[in-house]
Amino acid sequence: MKKLAVPFAIIALISFISAGIAFTVYGDSLPALRWRADHGSIWAAHRLGMIYSTPPSALQYHPELAKYRQQLDYIEANKWYRKAADLGDAQCQYDLGVSYHYGSGVKQDDVQSAEWYKKAAAQKYPSAELHLGNYYLQGIGVKKDEETGVALIRRAMDDGSTAAQYQMAMLYLSGRGVKKDYAKAAGILKKYVKENPRDNLHDAENILGALYMSGQGVKQDKIAGAKLIYRSANAGNADGQYSLGRILLTGDGVRNDTAKARVWLKKSSAQGNDDARRLLDYLDHLHKKLSDTSLAMQRWQMEKAKTGDATAAFNLGIMSYNGAPGVQKDIAKAATWFRRSADQGNAAAQMYMGRLYEHGEGVKQDWHQAAFWYALSDKTAAAQSHQKTLSSYALTTAESHLGEDDIARIKTEVAAWKPVTSLIATVSPAPREDAKAAEASKAPASP
């Protein structure tokens, strides 16, 4: 047994050493990665480059790197990128191109950046093709050549770059390096919107929405356009928020809503969109100007109403009913002015009184009152076909809620009605249904 003790010890030592070598060769610790990269592993060299060049904010996209907890060291990163790049790795060649473009760990050098992009692009690496294409479009690090630039960007798109897909659409929209073609741009954008993750879509949705709104390159469809713009805005895109604010102001493809328009314009402005800020400034200026005008108009109409002008009283009712810049919406006050005008024989005001009683706006809901005022408006506006049609339709609706005796009584009340000359208005009810009131007065109660 003693003779076997030495061989067993030797075997254990060999196994231990072998395990250490295996861990070094096949593990993913920093020492293991360095050993592997020094012995020709492109994967290990690239991993080391990423470990030293990935900021903490980007670890969510590369969770496999979080365990290394290394400080950023672009010089160290470029050392490993170059090792893999010299072995022909396209991704590391592209990474070196990025380093030279930004001057990360090396002296900034667009010519060197372009050279590394060319090496990666020669291997059909899409991101390198896209960046090199932009270099040729702008003359960065290479002689400006828009035709070559467009060809590289189109190649990157064909090789799977979604960023190139989006940029190619922008080139067709602007006509830069290619003949302007809205249809081709729209076709690329539709494919982009359909195929790509939501977090990459927002600009494309806004631009495609604008094409649908205008009918450029696609059949005009303002509803589809507004939906795309809303999706872009709702996802937080500043340009989409600005576009949504504009169409809400104009009512183009959506219901006009100035208040909501302001909300979206403020969101866009808060993200630095100068167009949104300028439009908000203009709206504020316009609102102040309209407020001053509305208040002046209200004062003028008030003076006229005091003299018994029924039209002025009606206008004041409309301003209170709808609200206006500088004039707060107040349905109860609107009812007061409508009643004053209606009692003086204004057919439009009489129709509004019918509407108020039909819907219970500013007054207690009452079908008898609604039918009375609609019928009176119908009679007063007999010579005005449009007004008569509106009142007649509303009267039919109101009468459908009443019995025959009620309808007959209303006809008697309308026939006996006379306009009043009193300038003091209240919102008292028109004739009631009870028999005593009908016998006591043949006309509705005057204010």
Q: What is the pLDDT of residue 240?
A: 94
Name residue, tokens 């060299």: 45
Residues composing the chain: 447
Question: Which residue did the predictor score with more confidence, 293 or 189?
Answer: 189
pLDDT tens, 160-217?
999 999 999 999 999 999 999 999 999 999 999 888 766 556 789 999 999 999 999 9
**Is the pLDDT assigned to residue 22 strictly greater than 50?**
no
Run of H or E residues at 114: helix 110-121
**Is the pLDDT assigned to residue 133 strictly greater than 80?**
yes
Q: What is the pLDDT of residue 327?
A: 74
Cα–Cα distance measured from residue 417 to residue 181, given in angstroms and rounded to the nearest whole number:
69
**Is the pLDDT assigned to residue 229 strictly greater than 90?**
yes
Residue 334 vs residues 320, 321, 338, 361, 437: alpha-carbon distances, Å: 5, 5, 6, 10, 27
pLDDT tens, 35-94?
998 998 999 989 898 888 888 877 777 787 777 766 789 999 999 999 999 999 999 999
Q: How confident is the model at residue 432 (pLDDT cuts 50, 70, 90)?
A: very low
DSSP character at residue 61: G
User: Nearest 5°: phi and psi at 192?
Assistant: -60, -45
Looking at 110-114, 201-205, 293-297, which range is the least confident one? 293-297
pLDDT tens, 335-392?
998 999 999 888 888 989 999 999 999 999 999 999 999 899 888 876 455 555 566 6
Cα–Cα distance measured from residue 76 to residue 133, given in angstroms and rounded to the nearest whole number:
28
User: Nearest 5°: phi and psi at 169?
Assistant: -65, -40
The answer to whether 206 and 227 have CB atoms below 8 angstroms apart is no
Sequence-separated contacts (24+) of 244-249 with Cβ below 8 Å? 245/276, 245/279, 246/279, 247/213, 249/283
> What does 175-216 look like in DSSP terms, one character per residue?
TSSS---HHHHHHHHHHHHHHS-GGG-HHHHHHHHHHHHHTS
**Which residues, in sequence order, are bridge partners of residue 324?**
327
Run of H or E residues at 95: helix 90-102
The helix/strand/coil state of 100 is: helix
The answer to whether 264 and 248 have CB atoms below 8 angstroms apart is yes
**Is the pLDDT assigned to residue 431 strictly greater than 70?**
no
Cα–Cα distance measured from residue 430 to residue 441, given in angstroms and rounded to the nearest whole number:
11
**Is the pLDDT assigned to residue 269 strictly greater than 50?**
yes
Token pair recorded at residue 247: 């169409």
Alpha carbon of residue 256 to chain centroid: 15
Angle at 69 between CA 63 and CA 70, to 5 degrees: 120
Cα–Cα distance measured from residue 203 to residue 224, given in angstroms and rounded to the nearest whole number:
16
Report percent pLDDT > 90 for the chain.
49
Global pTM value = 0.61
Cα–Cα distance measured from residue 127 to residue 130, given in angstroms and rounded to the nearest whole number:
5
